Amino acid sequence: MSIAYNEAAKTITIQTVETEYQMAIDRYGCLRHVYYGRTVGGEDLRELHRSYDRGFSGSPYRAGSDRAYSLDTVCQEFSSCGVGDFRVPSLGVQNADGSRCAELRYVSHEIRAGKYSLPGLPAAWDPDGSAETLEIILRDPVTGLTVRLLYGVFPERNVITRTAIYENGGAEPIVLEKAGSVCLELPFGSWDLLHFHGRHCLERKPERLPVMNGVQTVGSRRGMSSHEHNPFLILCDRQATEDHGECIGLMYLWSGSFRAEVEREQFGSVRAVLSPGDESFRWTLAPGERFAAPEVLLSRAEGLTRLSQQFHRMVRENVCRGEYRLAHRPVLINSWEAAYFDIRADRILDLARRAADLGMELFVLDDGWFHGRTDDNAGLGDWFENREKLPEGLDSLIRGIRETGLLFGLWVEPEMVSENSDLYRAHPDWALAVPDRAPMLGRNQLVLDLSRREVQDYIIEAMSGLLERYDISYVKWDFNRSVSDLYSHTLPAERQGEAGHRYVLGLYRVLETLTARFPGVLFEGCSGGGGRFDAGMLYYTPQIWCSDDTDPIERLTIQGGTSYGYPISTMGAHVSASPNHQTGRTTPLQTRGYVAMSGAFGYELDLAKLSEGELEEIRHQIQHFRQDEALLQQGLYYRLDEFTEAQDASAWLFVSEDRSRALLNVVVRSPHANAPLIHLKLKGLDPDARYAMEEDDAVRSGAALMYGGYTLPQLIGDYPAVQLHLKKID
């Protein structure tokens, strides 16, 4: 068992292959956090936590003269609120008497085989049955509020999942004003916070800051996880590098608004709390009712690279589901940057024929195909074909595309509605809007109220209708605005604070139903690119369009930032036109190909505009991709920018698990005259083995490549790139 309880010491210890997590029930019934870090072989570390009588940190009444004991200074597994801990609380409550206190005391715990599940929410799953569950019950003795802390232990992955289920065990209603999923205390050390921020067209840019005294908060109030802040963060030792130092990651399986708070308190201890929703979140728990907070993946490793690799494996194998989780994904051609709204059957068929001829496998008909959709001002909600654009109908177009040998995929944006649509005219109250207030428009569209069951059912049936009627193998599920004007006509006034959360639960129900009903369909998530790129969505859609910025040089930052937490197989990445439509930059096709291959690979450009030479190059790119696909999608990923930053270049490496193959990628971000040599040290190879490099026929040892390194030939021109293949020969 990886979870052990010591009755005499009242300690609970979780062990994974390389990490250890310790907690203890103290003399006043508080569940204390003791340790999370590298494994210490089960040695009791409670003595690390000494306590003194500290001014202005009072003691619980029942502690009497034990003045050294204060909830304000002890490390807690799940911090209480309003009863003497002045740090970031894990929860917020308003009790029936108006008080805002909850003191959570240990009641019991249970250890069981298998991983708990969270009905209605995305949660890591356990295909090989090696996970275990720890459930700890805490209760406020006055109101009866019960918090069940759940821990799912994946020993081989070095991952512990966590969440909290709130239950009203009293006789009066309790309003949750904050319902944290996880509280993590790091009592010692100097920590940096590495988080991933950005904007539309520049998502998940890493920013590393010292954890300051006070509270640093990242989060979203947009009803979606957002382009602006990703629900994934890393706390690492201030000295930590790619290869060394304590690194702890927290990844939220949640796609709505969220708050991640990191506090360094007066004595230097750090606490991180992740909770769903923003300041407007409220959830009323009537007696006997429950609220399940979304799940968090917690992982710890030595160095950022190893931490990323742990998350990659966990997300790929234990978060993503469905037939495409580990399988070959079809190389696709997407119509968006090729045609935008100018969808015409002859043009689309021509694009499909050209794509099939080059070896592509799937045609994705993006926005613009449906009723009333001539631009982005109308049509959303009316999910049937635009007869003006497709006079022979969608069915005939799909047949034509299928005859080229390609599979067919379709773009939809089912959570939205245009005012100028039949759906809106029939159900204006289905759109989110506050009574007597004109709602915000985003891209001239409104958001459907997915907290309502009938709206969920409508979307399920509308999408099922499409998937049943047509030969569709892939769906791109888009979502193109932030959510505002949260008000649901089906909720009473005192429950309106639940609307945003219920929206996301509604979305999950829709996606769960559709992915179960159509298991053979590959779903790709999208939100104006990567505005909802999170592990919650990845539970339903094993790939997500990474960004609306397809410029390969910008993509180095976007995909590189995304790689800290999310695997390559999840990042939709396409070769697009040059000059690029977002930046106007001209880049070589080779560079665009190498960057897009480090993702869920595809193309998105008008093939009719390419020269014979370019078409031939694409044909070869696809062949090369197929040869390297397993390595790219499932190999161990190493960021090598530490070696190339000074030369304005980016480098990254894939190494197969058995270390027999490796693929080095280098792209020059900004070419300079008389530039210094690019020299880098490879990682993850077998030092005693010999590797042949396909590109120069030379043989070198793993040790030479890792310790001596490799110096690249001179790279000049517009944003040049190289890919070098290594194969173990003995």
Q: Which of 398-406, 525-533, 613-621, 668-676 is the region at the interface with ligand DGJ (rule: CB under 6 A)?
A: 525-533
CA 114 to mean position of chain CA atoms = 24
Dig out the tokens for 556 from the structure. Answer: 């180095």
Q: Which of residues 627-646 bind ligand DGJ (CB under 6 A)?
A: none
> Is the sign of the CA dihedral 462, 467, 472, 475 positive or negative?
positive
Exposure of 696 by Cβ count < 10 A (0-12 exposed, 13-18 middle, 19+ buried)?
A: exposed
Minimum distance, C-beta of residue 256 to ligand DGJ, in the bound complex (Å)? 19
CB of 296 or CB of 364, closer to ligand DGJ: 364
Q: Are 23 and 44 in contact (CB under 8 A)?
A: no
Minimum distance, C-beta of residue 411 to ligand DGJ, in the bound complex (Å)? 6
User: Is 524 among the residues that bind ligand DGJ (CB under 6 A)?
Assistant: no
Minimum distance, C-beta of residue 433 to ligand DGJ, in the bound complex (Å)? 22
User: Is 523 among the residues that bind ligand DGJ (CB under 6 A)?
Assistant: no
Query: How far is Cα 253 from Cα 297, in angstroms, rounded to an integer?
Result: 8
Among 85, 126, 246, 478, binds ligand DGJ (CB under 6 A): 478
Query: How far is Cα 32 from Cα 74, in angstroms, rounded to an integer?
Result: 7
CB of 526 or CB of 568, closer to ligand DGJ: 526
Minimum distance, C-beta of residue 507 to ligand DGJ, in the bound complex (Å)? 17
Query: How far is Cα 14 from Cα 148, in angstroms, rounded to an integer?
Result: 17
Q: In the 8-state DSSP scheme, what is residue 116?
A: -
User: Is 167 among the residues that bind ligand DGJ (CB under 6 A)?
Assistant: no
CB of 87 or CB of 532, closer to ligand DGJ: 532
Minimum distance, C-beta of residue 223 to ligand DGJ, in the bound complex (Å)? 17
Among 16, 146, 480, 570, binds ligand DGJ (CB under 6 A): 480
Length of the chain: 730
Query: How far is Cα 610 from Cα 49, in angstroms, rounded to an integer?
Result: 67
H runs (alpha helix) in 7-104: none
User: Is 599 among the residues that bind ligand DGJ (CB under 6 A)?
Assistant: no
Exposure of 453 by Cβ count < 10 A (0-12 exposed, 13-18 middle, 19+ buried)?
A: exposed
Pairing of strands 11-15, 19-25: antiparallel
Query: How far is Cα 216 from Cα 112, in angstroms, rounded to an integer?
Result: 36
Please report, as a single letter, which amino acid is at residue 536.
G
Pairing of strands 332-334, 362-365: parallel
CB of 207 or CB of 375, closer to ligand DGJ: 375
Q: Is 534 a catalytic residue?
A: yes
Question: How many Cβ atoms are within 10 Å of 687's Cβ, its own excluded?
Answer: 12
Q: Which of residues 331-350 bind ligand DGJ (CB under 6 A)?
A: 336
User: Is 198 among the residues that bind ligand DGJ (CB under 6 A)?
Assistant: no
**Residue partners of 101: CB distance under 8 A and separation at least 6:** 80, 81, 82, 83, 93, 95, 140, 142
Q: Return the closest-CA partner of residue 337 out of 558, 569, 572.
A: 572
CB of 246 or CB of 478, closer to ligand DGJ: 478
CB of 294 or CB of 528, closer to ligand DGJ: 528
Annotated catalytic residue within 140, 185, 361, 534: 534
Q: Closest CB to ligand DGJ belongs to which residue?
A: 367
CB of 72 or CB of 548, closer to ligand DGJ: 548
Dig out the tokens for 462 from the structure. Answer: 């509308």
Q: Which of 49-57, 121-129, 240-248, 524-532 is the region at the interface with ligand DGJ (rule: CB under 6 A)?
A: 524-532
CB of 57 or CB of 557, closer to ligand DGJ: 557
Q: Which of 18-26, 186-194, 239-247, 521-529 is the region at the interface with ligand DGJ (rule: CB under 6 A)?
A: 521-529
User: Is 366 among the residues that bind ligand DGJ (CB under 6 A)?
Assistant: yes
H runs (alpha helix) in 110-184: none
Query: How far is Cα 651 from Cα 712, in angstroms, rounded to an integer?
Result: 11
User: Is 232 among the residues that bind ligand DGJ (CB under 6 A)?
Assistant: no
**Residue partners of 682: CB distance under 8 A and separation at least 6:** 638, 640, 653, 662, 664, 702, 705, 706, 709, 710, 726
Q: What angle do CA 406, 547, 432 make, to 5 degrees?
A: 100
User: Is 474 among the residues that bind ligand DGJ (CB under 6 A)?
Assistant: no
Q: Which of residues 601-620 bind ligand DGJ (CB under 6 A)?
A: none
Q: Locate tokens 């049955």: which residue?
A: 129
Minimum distance, C-beta of residue 337 to ligand DGJ, in the bound complex (Å)? 8
User: Is 295 among the residues that bind ligand DGJ (CB under 6 A)?
Assistant: no
Minimum distance, C-beta of residue 377 to ligand DGJ, in the bound complex (Å)? 12
Taking the CA of residue 268 as centre, how many other CA atoms within 13 Å lie in the half-sphere pointing to its CB?
4
Q: Return the closest-CA partner of residue 363 out of 144, 522, 581.
A: 522
Minimum distance, C-beta of residue 378 to ligand DGJ, in the bound complex (Å)? 12
CB of 22 or CB of 230, closer to ligand DGJ: 230
User: Is 545 among the residues that bind ligand DGJ (CB under 6 A)?
Assistant: yes
CB of 270 or CB of 338, closer to ligand DGJ: 338
Minimum distance, C-beta of residue 442 to ligand DGJ, in the bound complex (Å)? 12
CB of 21 or CB of 566, closer to ligand DGJ: 566
Among 414, 529, 593, 602, binds ligand DGJ (CB under 6 A): 529
Pairing of strands 543-545, 522-525: parallel
Annotated catalytic residue within 156, 606, 614, 629: 614
CB of 530 or CB of 702, closer to ligand DGJ: 530
How many residues bind to ligand DGJ according to rule CB under 6 A? 11
Q: Which of 57-65, 395-403, 448-456, 522-530 is the region at the interface with ligand DGJ (rule: CB under 6 A)?
A: 522-530
Minimum distance, C-beta of residue 475 to ligand DGJ, in the bound complex (Å)? 12
User: Is 242 among the residues that bind ligand DGJ (CB under 6 A)?
Assistant: no
User: Is 497 among the residues that bind ligand DGJ (CB under 6 A)?
Assistant: no
User: Is 591 among the residues that bind ligand DGJ (CB under 6 A)?
Assistant: no
Query: How far is Cα 150 from Cα 114, in angstroms, rounded to an integer?
Result: 12
Q: Which of 116-124, 460-468, 488-496, 523-531 is the region at the interface with ligand DGJ (rule: CB under 6 A)?
A: 523-531
3-state secondary structure of 627: helix
Please report, as a single letter, which amino acid is at residue 333.
I
Among 460, 475, 526, 546, binds ligand DGJ (CB under 6 A): 526
User: Is 525 among the residues that bind ligand DGJ (CB under 6 A)?
Assistant: no
Minimum distance, C-beta of residue 361 to ligand DGJ, in the bound complex (Å)? 19
Q: Is the peptide bond before 676 cis (omega within 30 degrees of 0)?
A: no
Minimum distance, C-beta of residue 506 to ligand DGJ, in the bound complex (Å)? 22
Q: Are 504 and 255 in contact (CB under 8 A)?
A: yes
Q: Is 688 a catalytic residue?
A: no
Q: Which of 190-198, 282-290, 434-442, 526-534 is the region at the interface with ligand DGJ (rule: CB under 6 A)?
A: 526-534
User: Is 383 among the residues that bind ligand DGJ (CB under 6 A)?
Assistant: no
Query: Site mask, ligand DGJ, residues 409-428, x = CB under 6 A?
Result: --x-----------------
Among 277, 303, 500, 528, binds ligand DGJ (CB under 6 A): 528
Minimum distance, C-beta of residue 438 to ligand DGJ, in the bound complex (Å)? 24
Strands (E), 214-303: 214-220, 229-237, 246-252, 258-264, 270-276, 283-285, 290-292, 296-302
Contacts 24+ apart (CB under 8 A), 100-103: 100/177, 101/140, 101/142, 102/140, 102/143, 102/145, 103/60, 103/71, 103/140, 103/141, 103/142
Query: Rule CB under 6 A: which residues touch ligand DGJ?
Result: 336, 366-367, 411, 478, 480, 526, 528-529, 545, 548
Which residues are annotated as catalytic? 534, 614
